[in-house]
Structure 1
């Protein structure tokens, strides 16, 4: 890997996060709504074939943030529809992201066992 690739990943990933931070600071949108917007936007941009060039340019800078989760869902659905037809709409997203979802459940459970959360007052 050359240094320019690292710079592209850092800049694109940073811009994605910067936009989310600006939305949180300047609007009344809650973080969960921004999360949903990002995932939906990643899926829509993938379906329109707009997000793939960004992924090709930025690599992990575009696939690691929440837009990248939407990208994975969209790519999985598109692949499953090509293979299985209409049924792929329902199965493709889950099969493409099963590893990430499974890891989130396992690590969330481990964190819940290790830490004692306190209620906000």
Structure 2
């Protein structure tokens, strides 16, 4: 039964993040790109303040998979690298922490681009 609770919390957390994004799209003049950037920055800010870890503990994948989770990962990487390397870690830590996800996105994007041909909408 605990597994169902974990799924429910992930669904709830991810759903709330999607709901906030949809409200921002519907009620503001923000473009989707600006909303995405806002989500990453919010993840970095909440991670830097030490608050996002509690959201991630509650929501699991519902909190770590969306863009706010990417921002949190960047902030964790920077904090770790600064502790180990000093000021230079502020420049390298985020990219180092997210390297696996970035590589996967580039690789799978390339695979999809090679397998499928775009079609005109008209």
Q: Which bracket does the TM-score occupy, shorter chain normalised?
A: over 0.9
Aligned to 1:86: 87
Give the SS at the match of 2:50: coil
Q: Does 1:108 pair with 2:109? A: yes
Q: CA deviation at 1:80?
A: 0.6
Q: Structure 1 pair 81/119, CA: closer, same or farther in 2 (3 Å)?
A: farther
The SS at the match of 1:11 is: helix
Q: TM-score, normalised by structure 1?
A: 0.93
Paired residues, number: 121
- Name 2:31's counterpart in structure 1: 30
* Secondary structure of residue in 2 paired with 1:117: coil
1:73 aligns with 2:74: yes
Structure 2 Cα separation of the partners of residues 26 and 72 of structure 1:
29
Please state how far the C-alpha of 1:2 moved relative to its aligned partner: 2.9
Aligned CA RMSD, in angstroms, stands at 1.4
C-alpha deviations, 1:8-60, integer Å up to 9, x for none? 11101110011111111121211111110000110011001111111111111
**Cα distance in 1 between the residues matched to 2:73 and 2:10:** 18
Structure 1: gaps (5+ residues):
none
Instruction: Find the counterpart in structure 1 of residue 96 from structure 2.
Output: 95
The residue number in structure 1 matching 2:54 is 53
In 2, Cα distance between the equivalents of 1:44 and 1:96?
Answer: 16
Deviation, structure 1 residue 76: 0.4
* Structure 2: runs of 5 or more not aligned: none
TM-score normalised by L of structure 2: 0.92
